[in-house]
Structure 1
Amino acid sequence: MAKRNNDNQSIQDVLKAFVDTNNLQSGLDKVNVREAWANLMGNGVNNYTTAIELKHQTLYVQLSSSVLREELSYGNEKIIKMLNEAIGKAIITKLVLR
């Protein structure tokens, strides 16, 4: 029977090492951005949001309402700042509303 190692590690350290080893951070960032958008924008904006995609620090958000798209474009920098704060790191540098 194999012996057990007595190297105690926290779950946080083990998961972080797993994410780093398997290059999963970019996928986790995409999920975190989608969740942050849904939480910050609320149901009113989420009902008109059809797609959210993060590519190379640019967040592409597709909206079904041109009026809402125009309204959100006025607060572009504020939205980027709020999303980055909700995620906990500066992932997004540019927001494109389609």
Structure 2
Amino acid sequence: MRYGMTSMEDALRDFMSKSRLKPRLTEVRIQENWEQLMGKTISRYTESIQLIDSKLHITTTVAPLKQELSYSKDRIIKLVNEMLGETVVREVVIR
């Protein structure tokens, strides 16, 4: 590369890190990989997943699943952050 030039990949990465779209795109990545991270059963009974201010909000109407997820909060945070490659989720809220 010539002096003062950046690759398209670097330019897009820089744009995304500064963009207001980043939190929403991160949320979509979590939703797309949820079944792979948590398994088919948990994924099937999870109604919604939202990322709001570093808090991952997980909604389900199945009481035993709510309890299992609340016991697994630390594991969920670790799995999601590892999948993303950065510390994005700091807390899990089960509804």
TM-score range, shorter chain: 0.7 to 0.9
If the length of structure 1 is used for normalisation, what is the TM-score?
Answer: 0.80
SS in 2 for 1:89: coil
Secondary structure of 2:47's counterpart equals: strand
Q: Aligned residues, how many?
A: 93
Answer whether contact 1:61 1:96 (CA < 8 A) is retained: yes
1:58 to partner: Cα distance: 0.5
Q: Following TM superposition, by how much is the alpha carbon of 1:52 offset from its aligned partner in structure 2, in angstroms?
A: 0.7
What is the CA-CA distance between 1:70 and the residue it aligns to?
A: 0.6
Instruction: Name the Cα RMSD after superposition.
Output: 2.0
2:82 is aligned, of 71, 77, 85, to 85
CA separation of 1:18 and 1:97: change in aligned 2, threshold 3 A: same
User: Structure 1, unaligned stretches of length 5 or more?
Assistant: 1-6
Give 5+ residue unaligned stretches, structure 2: none
Q: Is the 8 A contact 1:58 1:93 kept in 2?
A: yes
TM-score (norm 2): 0.82
- Equivalent residue runs for 1:1-98 within 5 Å: 9-20=6-17, 22-98=19-95
Partner Cα separation in structure 1 for residue 52 and residue 44 of structure 2: 23
**Shift in Å at residue 71 of structure 1?**
1.4
In the TM superposition, what is the alpha-carbon distance from 1:10 to its structure 2 partner?
2.2
Mark the CA change 1:25 to 1:76 in structure 2 (over 3 Å): closer, same or farther: same
Runs of 4 or more consecutive aligned structure 1 residues displaced over 4 Å after TM superposition: none
